[in-house]
Every structure is written in C-alpha cells, then in structure tokens.
Amino acid sequence: MSVGKAFAVAVVARLLGASLALTTMECTRRGVISRILGVASSASVCVLKPSYAAVDVREYTALAPLGRPSTTGDKCTGLSLSQLSERLTNDLQSGSTGRGGYFISGDISADIFRDDCAFVDPTNSVSSLSRYRNALAILFDPQSSFVELLAPLEVDETHNQISANIRSGGVLQLPWGPRIAPYESKIVYTVDQNGLIESQYQEWSISAAEALRETFSLNSAPYSAIARPKDEPVEVTELFNLVNARRTDSYSQEERYRIASLIDSVACARYPWARGELAGTWALVYLQPGPDGGTIDRRIPFPDLPFNNNYQIFGDESVTNVGELLGPALKVRVSGSLREEDTTSLSTPKRFRAEIEGGGLCVGEDGGGCLPLPIRGEGIFDGVYLGKRLRIGQNINGGGARVVQVRVQ
C-alpha cells in the first residue's frame, strides 16, 4: 500500500472515531415532508447533531502513518523577521518550488523551520516538520484546491512572531473526493533565537466538527468551476469567491455582513439582462432572509439539513426546483411553467412568474421513481443579477428572501 493510501485509510479510521465521539442522536418533532408542504405533523424525526463534548479531536487525527520524524537538510539561520516574512509569503502563495501554496501541496521551505517545529491546528498537533510536510503533500489535490493571502503578513518584533491570514479550500485526496468549502485561517509563526520557526499555530473560521463533517460528506457542497468572465463586475467576483462551494449554514456573522453588503451593491446597479444565460442548473449557496425574516416559500422545497443541496433548473419557459432530503438519493422535485413579465426590458431587475403544476418525492440520483405530491401554486421572483456563473434572485410573494446561486454542471 502506498504512503498516500495508507495515510487516507488511517485518517478515515481515526476520523470516524472522532466523528462518532463528536456526534449524538437528537430527535426532533419535525416532519420534513410536512414542513415542505406547510402542514403540521406529529412524527418524530431523528437527526445527527454535533454534541460538543470534551473531546480533543487531535487524539483521533494524529499523523500516525507518516513514518518517524527525520531531518530535512541544512537550515538557513540568522534571517530577520522581515526576511522570514518574505519567504513565508512565497511559500503560502506559490510554494517553495512553485508547486502551489504549501497548505495544499506540502511545498514548504524546510530550511526556515526547525525539524521539531510544532504544527498545531484544530484537528492536529505534530512536532515534526518531515511528518507535517508528508501529510500536506498527500492530503489535498493541488490542481483542484487553492490558497490565497487575505493581507500582507504582519511582523511582531516584541514577541518574535509573524502572523498571516489566508483563505483556502479544495478537494481532499480521499476515495470519495470530498470538497472542503473555502474557509479562513489565522496563522501565527513563532521564531526561536536562531531565526528558525519553532511553532506554527492555526485557528480556523470553521469548527473542528464542521471540518470533519465536510471530510465525510459523500455529497459535496455545490461548486462552479467556471472561470471568471472578463466582464464580471468586481463586486460579483468577490461575492462568487465568498459563496462558491458553500452551503447556506456555513457562514460566519462577519461573512454574512459582507455578503449582504455586496448583494445590496449589486442590487442597486442596473446590469444588462442576458436572457439566454438563465437556462441551466443553478445551485443554492446563500440565503438572505426577507425583511420579516421570511426564507423560501414552503411550496418550493429547500430542506435545511446540513448535507443536502438545492437546485433550480431553468429552461426557456420552464423551471424545476430540486430539494434534497437525504442527499441525491431522496429529494423532492416540483416543476412548472416560467413566464417573463416584461419581455421588452433588457436590464435588471427582471420579474418572472412561475406556475407550479406538480411535484414528487423521488428516489435515486436519476430521479427515476417518484411518488406524486400535491404541490401547486404561483411563485413570483425578481432576477436581481444574472451572469455566466452567479445569479441573485429575490422572492416577491413569499417573504422577500434573496438567494445567491452558482451555475453547476
């Protein structure tokens, strides 16, 4: 067995233990189907929810299969904090030899770290540069992952430290290819008296439990691989980078404030409406409640369980809403006609009217067998923005909620 496969197997075994330790079964009296249909229910539904017991996740995620610690060659001692900051900036963005930021490639400058450097994050603690580097080299797929600096590195001469803020995300090299949604990290490097980094301490914008959940989710969050169009507004690009590969429950309050500001900015502008761009599949990645706290009209099913995805599929004169109940294996589909209210207008906002004509509870990823559901009604929404890879819509007759969607294949 290769080192990479051995590492993956060991991580799976250990994380399964941590996942079970961090999770308890909680029963709620919510009927999911009844909630979608807007009727009362007395059925009990049991769901897994995190129970933040006194469990140190790092006990389950130690880098055991990566061999014994070893030396990593000559060291470059005596560098100033400013010089180290320059080296770290390059390593974080491009990697020591250009193979990609070291958090997704393991391409780290070993000559500026002590061999017994302590690397600590919410899920791991290891005092070995060689083992840490080996772990990073086989953890992420560099071709499908990214790291970006959020600001220049800061030097603290008083405490002999350097700090960095990054955003990263991507695909893990595990058999089911889980996608880790973009998250932010604060990193503090502490330097010893010889000018070598003796510790790297990380804090994440997501919890350890959330990281484990994403690792073991067989249903990755929606992701658009479309490159930035040349004519895409700057605000839309920033919004896309914040929401792509995310689920609606994964945002911090600070992120929500920024996203709300970006949505308002885009909504105030008038952009050309490219009618043909609407056709296709759009995945829900962000939900902004309406003025009275309203979310999605209950006739349009968007279950909020954390492992589910929700889509809208637009045709020229049709719309289908897909809300997963148990991932792609069980979902509700509702379909109807779609009509543009003012066909003469060529700019945003654009108003649409959807007549929902029926739906079904469907089993299987291909939606083969469906049990008919009595879903009927009218939906009115505005197209606030429409681009090649991002769409903003606002519900008009169901509470005023705004949605951000990304185009997926």
Same domain flag for 252 and 361: yes
Same domain flag for 248 and 123: no
End-to-end CA distance of the chain: 34
Specify if 52 maps to a domain.
Answer: no
Specify if 393 maps to a domain.
Answer: yes
Q: Burial of 134 by CB count in 10 Å (0-12 exposed, 13-18 middle, 19+ buried)?
A: buried
34: helix, strand or coil: helix
**pLDDT for res 19:** 36
Tokens of residue 302, six digits = 């968007």
Same domain flag for 248 and 397: yes
pLDDT-based confidence at residue 34 (cuts at 50, 70, 90) = very low
Same domain flag for 203 and 240: no
**pLDDT for res 110:** 96
**pLDDT for res 226:** 87
pLDDT (tens digit, 9 = 90+) per residue, 223-234? 888 889 999 999
Same domain flag for 199 and 128: yes
Among the candidates 188, 215, 242, a domain finishes at: 215
pLDDT (tens digit, 9 = 90+) per residue, 194-250? 999 999 999 998 777 777 777 776 667 788 888 899 999 999 999 998 999 888 888
More confident residue, 212 or 190: 190
pLDDT (tens digit, 9 = 90+) per residue, 250-262? 888 989 999 999 9
Same domain flag for 238 and 211: no
Same domain flag for 366 and 394: yes
Specify if 349 maps to a domain.
Answer: yes
Residue 5 phi/psi, 5° resolution? Answer: -70, -40
Same domain flag for 286 and 209: no
**pLDDT for res 296:** 59
Specify if 250 maps to a domain.
Answer: yes
Same domain flag for 136 and 187: yes
Residue 352 has what DSSP assignment? E
Q: What is the mean pLDDT of residues 356-376?
A: 85
Given a cut of 60, whether residue 13 has pLDDT beyond it is: no
Candidates 202, 227, 204; CA nearest to 214 is: 204
Helix ranges, 112-233 (H): 129-139, 208-215
Whether the predicted model's global pTM rises above the 0.85 cut? no
Same domain flag for 278 and 400: yes
With beta carbons less than 8 A apart as the criterion, state whether 288 and 263 touch: yes
Q: What is the mean pLDDT of residues 334-353?
A: 93
Same domain flag for 124 and 78: yes
Specify if 182 maps to a domain.
Answer: yes
Given a cut of 80, whether residue 302 has pLDDT beyond it is: no
Tokens of residue 191, six digits = 């330097």
Specify if 32 maps to a domain.
Answer: no
110: helix, strand or coil: helix
- Alpha carbons 369 and 314: distance in angstroms, whole number: 22
What residues make up the domain containing 109?
Answer: 57-215
Axis crossing angle, helix 234-243 with helix 253-268, rounded to the nearest 10:
150
- Alpha carbons 334 and 178: distance in angstroms, whole number: 28
Same domain flag for 296 and 209: no
267: domain CATH number? 2.40.128.280
Give the chain's domain count: 2
pLDDT (tens digit, 9 = 90+) per residue, 82-113? 999 999 999 999 999 999 999 999 999 999 99
192: helix, strand or coil: coil
- Alpha carbons 29 and 32: distance in angstroms, whole number: 9
Q: What is the mean pLDDT of residues 50-56?
A: 43
Specify if 22 maps to a domain.
Answer: no
> In whole angstroms, what separates CA 316 from the centre of its chain?
30
208: domain CATH number? 3.10.450.50
Specify if 220 maps to a domain.
Answer: no
Among the candidates 185, 215, 245, a domain finishes at: 215
- Alpha carbons 221 and 123: distance in angstroms, whole number: 21
Given a cut of 80, whether residue 42 has pLDDT beyond it is: no
